[in-house]
C-alpha cells in the first residue's frame, strides 16, 4: 500500500507555492490546481472511513455557485453531516504536504494518532456536479482511494444533497433508523411520495418555474418530476436553465447566488407578474424564491423567508396535532438574517432564535439541540431537523380526534419530505409548495408576513483577512483593535442600524453587512463600515 500511495501522489504533483485550506465548503478554487488535492482527499476519506469502522464516507466534487472554471471537494460524514472539524484540519495539512513521501508519512501519523487499523475496510461514496473538470478530478480521487485500498461506489452525477442522502442511506440500511434506499430511484420515490402525502389533496396556486443554474439540479429535477403526482392534480413545474450540455453556462446570469446577490431575476426569465419562481445553485443545495409584483417590482423570498414560513407551518401542525406541550420548535439563523425576520420569529411566531457563525455545519449543530430545528442561511441554504425523541413522539402519538390525525399525518409526511441529512434545494422547494398549498397563500401573501429591513452586503479586499477576528457569532470584531468601536459609532448614527464585518471562509475578502430603516441609510452605513475595514486592513 505504501508504494501505491507514494505513486498516486507523485502522479498528481502539487503546484508550487499554493496553500490549500479546507474551508466552510471544503476545498474550493480554480479546477486546474486541484488534482493533487483530490488525490489526497481520497486518502483522507479512506482514513476517515477506517476510523469509523468502515462506515461509508462521502466525497462530493463540486464548487456549488462558483464560476464554471472553479471546482472543489467536500467530505461527508456517515449520517450526511459535514466533515468533523478535527478532520478538516487533517485534510488541510494533508493537502499541503510537498510530495509522496511526506504524504505517506502523514498518512501513517494520522493512522497511529487515531489508532486506525490500516487493514480494516474503508468505504467511500463519490459523486460530482456537471463541471467540465469533474471527470478529471474524479480520476484523481479514484487514484487516492485505490492506493489506500478503499471500496468505492461511484454514483456519477448527483446533486450535493443526493450524495448526502446516499451516504446516510448506506450507513443506516437494515437498521431501525434506515433512511431510504441508497439509489437515485430511491431518492425520487421517497421525496415524490412524501410530497403527495403532505399535500393532502390541496394544490398550490399557479405554477412554479424552477431555474436550475444550468447545473446538476436540472436533470435531477426533470427525473424527480416523473415521481410527483400529475400536474393536473398537484403542481405544474416549468424547468428553466437546465442546460448541462454547455458546462460553461453554469451559474452564469442565473441560479440562486445570482438572484440573491443581484436582487433580480435571471435576465432570461420570461415570467410575468405574480408568477412564482425559484432558483437553485450549481449543486442544488440552495434555493431562493421570488416573483414580480403587480407593479413589476422584483420581490425576493430568501432563506429567512423559507425559515419563517416553514417554522410557522410546523408550529401550526404541532399545535393542531395536540403536541405543543411536548415538542418545541426553534429557528437557527446567522448574523446575515434580516433583523425583521428575527423579530418576526421571536415576537410574532413566539419561537426561540439562535444565532451561529456562518456555515451550514454551525447551524446544523445548533439545530440538533432542538426538538425541531429550522435552520436556513439567508442565501437559501438550509433544512429542518427533528431530534430522535421528537421523531419517536410523532411516530407513537395516538391522535384524539380527526383534526389531530390530519395534522399528525401532515407532520409525518413533512419529516419524509425534508432531507434530514443536509439542506436540499429540491426537497426545500417542494416543502415550500406544500406550505403555500395548505395556507392557500400566493407569494404576495407570503411576502406580506413582515417587511425586510433594507440591507447591503459588500466585499472588501484587504491584504490579510486573517487579522479580522470575531466573537458573538461573528457579530462583533475583537481584532483589529479599535475597529469595532468605530463601527459602533457609525451604526448609532442610523435608524434601526446593524452592521458587522467578518473574513469570508470561501473567498479572499472581508464581508461587510449593513441594514437600516431606509435603503439610503443601509447603503451609507455599509459604505462607511467598508471604508473603516479597508483602512484597518491596510495599516
Ligand atoms: C454571506 C454568505 O452568503 N456567505 C456564504 C459563503 O460563506 P463565506 O464564509 O461568507 O464566504 O459561502 C458559504 C458556503 O457556501 C455559505 O455557507 C455562506 O452562507
Ligand atoms: Mg451549493
Mind listing the domains of the chain with CATH numbers?
A: 2-157 (3.40.120.10), 187-295 (3.40.120.10), 303-447 (3.40.120.10), 455-538 (3.30.310.50)
Whether the CB of 502 sits within 6 Å of ligand 1: no
Residue 309 · residue 446 · CB < 8 Å: yes
What gap in Å lies between CA 410 and CA 196, rounded to an integer? Answer: 10
pLDDT digits (tens, 9 = 90+) for 8-65: 999 999 999 999 999 888 999 999 999 999 999 999 999 999 999 999 999 999 999 9
Interface confidence (ipTM) of the complex: 0.98
Residue 505's pLDDT is: 86
pLDDT digits (tens, 9 = 90+) for 218-233: 999 999 999 999 999 9
Whether the CB of 455 sits within 6 Å of ligand 1: no
What gap in Å lies between CA 9 and CA 145, rounded to an integer? Answer: 11
Residue length of the chain: 539
Residue nearest to atom 10 of ligand 1 (CA): 504
Residue 395's pLDDT is: 96
Edge-to-edge order in the sheet of strand 298-301: 237-240, 208-211, 276-280, 287-292, 298-301
Extract the C-alpha cell encoding 297.
417590482
Mode of pairing for the β-strands spanning 56-61 and 70-76: antiparallel
Instruction: Note if 268 is an active site residue.
Output: no
Q: Which atom of ligand 1 is nearest to the CA of 505?
A: 9
Residue 507's pLDDT is: 82
Choose one of 23, 379, 515 to mutate for the ligand 1 pocket test, by most ligand atoms within 8 angstroms of C-beta.
Answer: 379
pLDDT digits (tens, 9 = 90+) for 387-397: 999 999 999 99
Rounded to the nearest angstrom, the distance between the alpha carbon of 359 and the centre of ligand 1 is 6
Q: Which residues carry a binding-site annotation for Mg(2+)?
A: 64, 281, 283, 285
Q: How far is CA 484 from the centre of its chain?
A: 29
Residue 1's pLDDT is: 75
Maximum distance among all Cα pairs of the chain, rounded to whole angstroms: 69
Residue 20's pLDDT is: 96
* Catalytic-role residue among 51, 64, 427, 499: 64
Rounded to the nearest angstrom, the distance between the alpha carbon of 281 and the centre of ligand 2 is 6
> Which residues of the chain carry a pLDDT beneath 70?
none
Whether the CB of 66 sits within 6 Å of ligand 1: no
What gap in Å lies between CA 263 and CA 95, rounded to an integer? Answer: 37
- Which ligand is the nearest neighbour of the Cα of 358? 1
**Other C-beta atoms lying within 10 Å of the C-beta of residue 16:** 6
Rounded to the nearest angstrom, the distance between the alpha carbon of 218 and the centre of ligand 1 is 23
Averaged confidence pLDDT in the chain: 97
Task: Give the environment of ion ligand 2: residues with CB less than 5 A.
Answer: 64, 281, 283, 285-286
Residue 398's pLDDT is: 96
| Pick from 206, 196, 191, 192: nearest CA to 237 | 206
Amino acid at each position: 500500500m505504501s508504494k501505491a500511495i507514494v505513486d498516486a501522489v507523485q502522479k498528481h504533483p502539487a503546484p508550487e507555492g499554493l496553500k490549500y485550506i479546507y474551508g466552510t465548503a471544503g476545498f474550493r478554487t480554480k479546477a486546474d490546481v486541484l488534482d493533487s488535492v483530490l488525490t489526497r482527499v481520497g486518502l483522507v476519506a479512506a482514513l476517515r472511513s477506517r476510523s469509523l469502522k468502515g462506515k461509508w464516507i462521502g466525497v462530493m466534487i463540486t464548487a456549488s455557485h462558483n464560476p464554471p472554471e472553479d471546482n472543489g471537494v467536500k467530505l461527508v460524514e456517515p449520517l450526511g453531516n459535514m466533515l468533523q472539524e478535527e478532520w478538516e484540519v487533517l485534510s488541510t495539512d494533508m493537502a499541503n504536504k510537498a510530495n509522496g513521501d511526506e504524504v505517506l508519512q502523514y498518512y501513517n501519523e494520522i493512522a497511529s494518532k487515531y489508532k486506525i487499523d490500516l487493514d480494516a475496510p474503508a468505504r467511500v461514496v463519490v459523486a460530482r456536479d456537471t463541471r467540465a473538470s469533474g471527470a478529471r478530478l474524479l480520476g484523481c480521487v479514484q487514484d487516492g482511494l485505490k492506493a489506500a485500498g478503499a471500496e468505492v461506489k461511484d454514483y456519477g452525477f448527483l446533486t450535493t444533497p443526493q450524495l448526502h442522502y446516499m451516504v446516510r442511506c448506506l450507513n443506516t440500511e437494515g437498521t431501525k433508523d434506515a433512511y431510504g434506499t441508497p439509489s437515485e430511484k430511491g431518492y425520487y420515490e421517497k421525496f415524490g411520495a412524501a410530497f403527495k402525502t403532505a399535500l393532502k389533496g390541496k394544490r398550490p396556486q399557479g405554477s412554479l418555474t424552477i431555474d436550475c443554474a444550468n447545473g446538476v439540479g436540472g436533470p435531477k429535477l426533470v427525473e424527480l418530476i416523473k415521481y410527483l403526482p400529475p400536474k393536473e392534480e398537484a403542481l405544474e413545474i416549468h424547468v428553466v436553465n437546465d442546460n448541462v450540455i454547455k458546462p460553461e453556462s453554469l451559474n452564469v446570469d442565473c441560479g440562486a447566488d445570482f438572484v440573491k446577490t443581484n436582487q433580480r431575476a435571471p435576465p432570461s426569465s420570461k415570467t410575468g407578474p405574480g408568477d412564482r419562481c425559484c432558483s437553485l445553485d450549481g449543486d442544488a443545495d440552495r434555493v431562493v424564491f421570488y416573483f414580480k409584483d403587480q407593479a413589476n417590482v422584483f420581490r425576493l423570498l430568501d432563506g429567512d423567508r423559507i425559515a419563517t414560513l416553514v417554522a410557522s407551518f410546523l408550529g401550526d401542525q404541532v399545535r393542531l396535532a395536540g403536541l405543543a406541550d411536548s415538542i418545541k420548535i426553534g429557528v437557527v439563523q446567522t448574523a446575515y438574517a434580516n433583523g425583521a425576520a428575527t423579530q418576526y420569529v421571536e415576537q410574532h411566531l413566539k419561537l426561540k432564535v439562535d444565532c451561529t457563525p456562518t456555515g451550514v455545519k454551525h447551524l446544523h449543530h445548533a439545530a440538533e439541540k432542538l426538538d425541531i430545528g429550522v435552520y436556513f442561511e439567508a442565501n437559501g441554504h438550509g433544512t429542518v431537523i427533528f431530534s430522535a425523541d421528537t421523531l419517536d413522539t410523532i411516530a407513537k402519538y395516538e391522535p384524539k380526534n380527526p383534526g389531530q390525525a390530519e395534522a399528525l399525518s401532515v407532520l409525518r409526511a413533512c419529516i419524509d419530505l425534508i432531507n434530514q441529512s443536509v439542506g436540499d434545494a429540491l426537497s426545500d422547494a417542494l416543502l415550500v409548495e406544500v406550505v403555500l398549498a395548505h395556507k392557500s397563500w400566493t407569494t404576495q401573501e407570503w411576502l406580506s408576513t413582515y417587511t425586510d429591513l433594507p440591507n447591503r452586503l459588500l466585499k472588501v479586499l484587504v491584504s490579510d483577512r486573517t487579522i479580522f477576528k470575531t466573537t458573538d457569532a461573528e457579530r462583533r470584531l475583537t481584532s483589529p483593535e479599535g475597529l469595532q468601536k468605530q463601527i459602533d459609532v457609525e451604526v448609532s448614527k442610523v435608524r434601526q442600524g446593524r452592521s458587522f464585518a467578518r473574513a469570508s471562509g470561501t473567498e479572499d475578502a472581508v464581508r461587510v453587512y449593513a441594514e437600516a430603516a431606509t435603503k439610503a441609510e443601509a447603503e451609507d452605513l455599509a459604505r462607511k463600515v467598508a471604508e473603516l475595514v479597508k483602512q484597518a486592513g491596510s495599516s
